A and B are shown apart, each in its own frame.
Chain A
């Protein structure tokens, strides 16, 4: 009885009702030591004070009992702070739901660490998306079963990032009513998707068939339990983004089989068949024969495809006499010579198909054989349900590309679509783009200018990953870089501003003169060379006569020393660059422009390959990239007009811009490649409040560029003293300038120092 004392008052107070389940009390008593028990009591008191009602308290007690028993006292004690957190942000109902969800969740949380990951994810969700806590906790069991603790956290963070600051959007994502939740979901599972293997698969298709269709990965829809099939429509191919229910090790094989099959169609299928009064069963059968026909033709040239396709055909001769079963058996009979099937209908199909191998080149035989077999099935009174029919096996496409239906074919020919297609941007995202835009207050002129220039002239040029430091990994294809053309303006003002830096210009001229490229240098006393070095030769002759071994370095040669480098100057033109610099009436952007103009002048005098671009961002779907001067363009009046036309606005998502800059400069075939970033402040964007996120992402981007042998160098002020420049660019690769007004003096000289 004494053992019950610690809880007696609770029972008596009636707050938690009668603890019917004695094992919980026993567990708490046995697992906790005296201190822990005191802590637990204190937690309970806090929860009580916070207004968690009797039901909530009881749920808490039960949850901690289970936790203590299964994961130890420390795990049990970790629950209360999280409940308090959730209660504070998301209310009592959500807090109670957390206790309720704990016990079921434990089944999927193998150890204490997993449990804490899960709690952390819930706490983060409560802080950043309080409205979504209850729906997520309600599905917690199923989500954890699919994703595990780490995947769950990745999914929650992904949802928060994707939802931005919009509660409704978040709620739609987290209650899985937004289809994009499934994209996130599938990313979080860590399975291989089409995009992971895309490059190799496309190359595979080109190698086998010289076919280069546009391939788009399509995400599954919520509630779609059956794995969807691939589909093609002339040169447009859709493949499932993920293969559900396929072992990770086989995913690539399925995609390979899928694309090889579509490739065989593209090469060997003729013009599309006319439906013209065919019954659905006949359509399906003609398609089946056509599949077999193109595969046979492809295997004539590429016999190895048999080993790729055949294992997918698993139909057995003892299957039922239903349409799907017979179809699958016939498919197998038409590809696998070792397959035995005594069914009369299957045998007849096989005989007709193999009767004349020379006839395979004619697509007409598919129609002919398919029709005959369809009639037979009709006479056998075998039912065919086109609604539930799915082409088997998994790798075959849905055959919609084979038929000319009466419906108007989808118009997918205009160029814009093609461009959009190639960077895989879905229309829905475009719409969201505009939504986002309209949610930004339009309070000043600069922004209006940016908006005007946007007017549909942005072209998506690439999708890039973004790194989430909380997860410790990259989200693939997370940001979209959109290229906009800067509006050229009159350069008179810029030219005058540049002229006012006469002293810098003079100094630069001297430096440029000294560093000018391609001067032949005479290298003397070499062991190899095309001429004898006269001095060294005389020396050698003297040595010889003196009985000494002469030096073999008697040649001279001429070498041209090239400044073999390309540089991309990347300007930050976010909203903050419109601020006036302290003590002047000039904006930061103006100083950036002048500095860039001075540097560009020096670079074009030097003959170094260089490009200038600017960036700002408006959420992850619109990282704006303004090319001012390309590597192949001269630095002329037009380029200056574009430079003068840059207007500040929006945010600083530096990581995406850097990755794109890396692609641009990476195409240069020089020994050294350099990206010089001029920034005016810490990176930020509208859809993520966490500043550190962008710093860490930018740091990751710089590292990935370094992997491709591209040096990144940053210059900017560090007003807040957070040291973010060092964090992003690395300890030795940045310069802090105390006054932005010094930028025009510093930047060109800095470049000369970097490259001399």
Chain B
């Protein structure tokens, strides 16, 4: 069936489908993709509530183009922070969510086939390097260690990216800034950054914000009154007490906001917590029971 189709029809097929970059796609149209990084600029101010001096610190690091590492548990605002900083610094932001099947080619680029033969396609990292963007590699520990070494020449004073297959050396645009996120608690037994990778970065440590700040964030993001947000934050604190005692991670700020959004749509607080906190966070019946009871004690 497929073979009866003419080759020309392939040329009209969409070059990119889904989110994967150049994965499993045949004959993409050679678009001048991403040469203009305007699509990657953040136009509206993202909501971000500072919890410490992280904004000033990051601005200083950005001026020095020092590679930065954002550490902290999931859902505590790392990604929101980098979006906010990109907006504030007026720089495009290229985000790559790392995963365990990711290869170096997924970052750097690869040859694809088109109607006339092979054509090189820059990966997101290469684009950011060429045209000057903040490149944010989210959850870098998820990527295989041999993948992460491609960033090494970019993170010292060389600031270059060799494209071996294309036989090209890309010198980083002055605006290029590499930022990675790293969740130390997350499966740390199996996954950790190489020492040689770690030592190339400055770091900002993120935690769940203090109760008052978190209340403000939850109230703002979910659009609920402060009192309800306060209860949600109390619940979050109780669940975080269970970290390492049956739960890998307590409820994140993001989860509390999810629950808050349900509350804003007139779902009862306990039902919202059930749906947005208890059920997603664990499948262990004992832990679910403990969490539900703890939530009942907070409401």
Seen from chain A, the residues whose Cβ lies within 8 Å of a Cβ on chain B are 199-204, 206-210, 212, 252, 256, 260, 301-305, 307-308, 527-532, 537, 540-541, 543-544, 547-550, 552, 554, 557, 669
Whether A206 and B242, one on each chain, are in contact in the complex, defined by CB atoms closer than 8 angstroms, is yes
Listed stretches B40-48, B72-80, B286-294; interface member? B286-294
Whether A304 and B296, one on each chain, are in contact in the complex, defined by CB atoms closer than 8 angstroms, is yes
B2, B106, B298: the one within 8 Å of A303 (CB) = B298
**Min C-beta distance of B143 to chain A, whole Å:** 13
A200, A210, A302: the one within 8 Å of B297 (CB) = A302
Residues of B76-123 at the interface with A, using a CB-CB cut-off of 8 Å, are: 103-106, 110-113, 115, 117-118
B169 touches A (CB below 8 Å): no
Query: Other CB < 8 Å A-B pairs besides A204-B289, A210-B241, A252-B289, 16 of them?
Result: A200-B290, A200-B293, A206-B245, A207-B242, A208-B297, A212-B245, A260-B297, A305-B297, A530-B106, A531-B111, A532-B110, A537-B113, A541-B113, A541-B117, A552-B24, A554-B26
Given the complex of chains A and B, what is the CA–CA distance between A303 and B294 in angstroms?
A: 11
Known contacts A530-B106, A532-B113; A203/B299 CB under 8 A:
no
Whether B7 and A557, one on each chain, are in contact in the complex, defined by CB atoms closer than 8 angstroms, is no
Closest B residue, CB atoms, query A552: B26
Whether A669 and B113, one on each chain, are in contact in the complex, defined by CB atoms closer than 8 angstroms, is no
Whether B117 and A204, one on each chain, are in contact in the complex, defined by CB atoms closer than 8 angstroms, is no
Known contacts A206-B242, A208-B294, A528-B24; A200/B113 CB under 8 A:
no
Closest 7 interchain pairs by CB? Answer: A530-B105, A203-B290, A207-B294, A549-B3, A200-B286, A304-B297, A200-B289
Given the complex of chains A and B, what is the CA–CA distance between A385 and B115 in angstroms?
A: 99
Contacts of A532 in B (CB 8 A): 110-113, 118
Contacts of A206 in B (CB 8 A): 241-242, 245
Whether B296 and A200, one on each chain, are in contact in the complex, defined by CB atoms closer than 8 angstroms, is no
**Min C-beta distance of B151 to chain A, whole Å:** 16
Greatest chain B CB density within 10 A among A203, A308, A531, A554 is at: A203
Contacts of B2 in A (CB 8 A): 549
Contacts of A256 in B (CB 8 A): 293
Given the complex of chains A and B, what is the CA–CA distance between A199 and B293 in angstroms?
A: 13
Closest B residue, CB atoms, query A548: B3
**Min C-beta distance of A255 to chain B, whole Å:** 10
Given the complex of chains A and B, what is the CA–CA distance between A263 and B47 in angstroms?
A: 38
Residues of B9-32 at the interface with A, using a CB-CB cut-off of 8 Å, are: 10, 20, 23-24, 26
Given the complex of chains A and B, what is the CA–CA distance between A472 and B112 in angstroms?
A: 63
Residues of B116-158 at the interface with A, using a CB-CB cut-off of 8 Å, are: 117-118
Closest B residue, CB atoms, query A541: B117
**Min C-beta distance of A754 to chain B, whole Å:** 24
A-B contact pairs, 25 of them (CB 8 A): A199-B286, A200-B286, A200-B293, A202-B245, A204-B294, A207-B290, A208-B294, A256-B293, A304-B296, A304-B299, A527-B24, A530-B106, A531-B110, A531-B165, A532-B111, A537-B113, A543-B3, A544-B7, A544-B115, A547-B6, A548-B3, A549-B6, A549-B7, A550-B26, A557-B103
Contacts of B23 in A (CB 8 A): 528
**Min C-beta distance of B280 to chain A, whole Å:** 17
Contacts of A212 in B (CB 8 A): 245
Given the complex of chains A and B, what is the CA–CA distance between A544 and B3 in angstroms?
A: 10
B189 touches A (CB below 8 Å): yes
Contacts of A537 in B (CB 8 A): 113, 118
Contacts of A308 in B (CB 8 A): 296-297
Given the complex of chains A and B, what is the CA–CA distance between A589 and B295 in angstroms?
A: 56
Whether B5 and A549, one on each chain, are in contact in the complex, defined by CB atoms closer than 8 angstroms, is yes
Whether A203 and B245, one on each chain, are in contact in the complex, defined by CB atoms closer than 8 angstroms, is yes
Greatest chain B CB density within 10 A among A204, A212, A301, A529 is at: A204
Contacts of A528 in B (CB 8 A): 20, 23-24
**Min C-beta distance of A113 to chain B, whole Å:** 33
Given the complex of chains A and B, what is the CA–CA distance between A554 and B110 in angstroms?
A: 13
B252 touches A (CB below 8 Å): no
Whether B287 and A530, one on each chain, are in contact in the complex, defined by CB atoms closer than 8 angstroms, is no
B4, B242, B287, B293: the one within 8 Å of A549 (CB) = B4
Closest B residue, CB atoms, query A253: B293
Closest B residue, CB atoms, query A536: B113
**Min C-beta distance of B15 to chain A, whole Å:** 13
Contacts of B291 in A (CB 8 A): 203, 207
Whether B296 and A203, one on each chain, are in contact in the complex, defined by CB atoms closer than 8 angstroms, is no
Closest B residue, CB atoms, query A307: B296
Contacts of B287 in A (CB 8 A): 200, 203
**Min C-beta distance of A136 to chain B, whole Å:** 37
**Min C-beta distance of B111 to chain A, whole Å:** 5
**Min C-beta distance of B294 to chain A, whole Å:** 4
B238 touches A (CB below 8 Å): yes
Whether A207 and B238, one on each chain, are in contact in the complex, defined by CB atoms closer than 8 angstroms, is yes
Whether A547 and B7, one on each chain, are in contact in the complex, defined by CB atoms closer than 8 angstroms, is yes
Residues of B246-299 at the interface with A, using a CB-CB cut-off of 8 Å, are: 246, 285-287, 289-291, 293-299
Given the complex of chains A and B, what is the CA–CA distance between A301 and B299 in angstroms?
A: 10
**Min C-beta distance of A386 to chain B, whole Å:** 33
Given the complex of chains A and B, what is the CA–CA distance between A604 and B104 in angstroms?
A: 32
Contacts of A531 in B (CB 8 A): 105, 110-111, 165
Whether B234 and A301, one on each chain, are in contact in the complex, defined by CB atoms closer than 8 angstroms, is yes
Whether B290 and A204, one on each chain, are in contact in the complex, defined by CB atoms closer than 8 angstroms, is yes
Known contacts A199-B286, A552-B24; A207/B7 CB under 8 A:
no
**Min C-beta distance of B125 to chain A, whole Å:** 13
B239 touches A (CB below 8 Å): yes
Greatest chain A CB density within 10 A among B104, B286, B293 is at: B293
B190 touches A (CB below 8 Å): yes
Contacts of A201 in B (CB 8 A): 290
Known contacts A305-B297, A549-B7; A207/B239 CB under 8 A:
yes
Contacts of A552 in B (CB 8 A): 24, 26
Whether B238 and A669, one on each chain, are in contact in the complex, defined by CB atoms closer than 8 angstroms, is no
**Min C-beta distance of B4 to chain A, whole Å:** 7
**Min C-beta distance of B78 to chain A, whole Å:** 25
Given the complex of chains A and B, what is the CA–CA distance between A530 and B103 in angstroms?
A: 7
**Min C-beta distance of A540 to chain B, whole Å:** 7
Given the complex of chains A and B, what is the CA–CA distance between A201 and B111 in angstroms?
A: 58
Whether A550 and B286, one on each chain, are in contact in the complex, defined by CB atoms closer than 8 angstroms, is no
Greatest chain B CB density within 10 A among A201, A304, A308, A552 is at: A304
Closest A residue, CB atoms, query B117: A541
**Min C-beta distance of A476 to chain B, whole Å:** 15
**Min C-beta distance of B258 to chain A, whole Å:** 19
Contacts of B245 in A (CB 8 A): 202-203, 206, 212
Contacts of A529 in B (CB 8 A): 105
Contacts of A530 in B (CB 8 A): 103-106, 110
Contacts of B298 in A (CB 8 A): 302-304
**Min C-beta distance of B171 to chain A, whole Å:** 23
**Min C-beta distance of B19 to chain A, whole Å:** 13
Whether B238 and A208, one on each chain, are in contact in the complex, defined by CB atoms closer than 8 angstroms, is yes
Contacts of B289 in A (CB 8 A): 200, 204, 252
Given the complex of chains A and B, what is the CA–CA distance between A301 and B6 in angstroms?
A: 70
Closest B residue, CB atoms, query A540: B113
Given the complex of chains A and B, what is the CA–CA distance between A305 and B239 in angstroms?
A: 16
Closest A residue, CB atoms, query B245: A206
**Min C-beta distance of B70 to chain A, whole Å:** 26
Given the complex of chains A and B, what is the CA–CA distance between A527 and B25 in angstroms?
A: 8
Given the complex of chains A and B, what is the CA–CA distance between A515 and B137 in angstroms?
A: 36
Contacts of A554 in B (CB 8 A): 26, 113
Given the complex of chains A and B, what is the CA–CA distance between A301 and B237 in angstroms?
A: 11
Contacts of A209 in B (CB 8 A): 241
**Min C-beta distance of B123 to chain A, whole Å:** 10
Contacts of A301 in B (CB 8 A): 234
Whether B286 and A203, one on each chain, are in contact in the complex, defined by CB atoms closer than 8 angstroms, is yes
**Min C-beta distance of A282 to chain B, whole Å:** 32
**Min C-beta distance of A608 to chain B, whole Å:** 16
Closest B residue, CB atoms, query A206: B245
Closest A residue, CB atoms, query B23: A528
Contacts of B117 in A (CB 8 A): 541
**Min C-beta distance of A555 to chain B, whole Å:** 8
Given the complex of chains A and B, what is the CA–CA distance between A301 and B291 in angstroms?
A: 16
Contacts of B294 in A (CB 8 A): 204, 207-208
**Min C-beta distance of B121 to chain A, whole Å:** 11
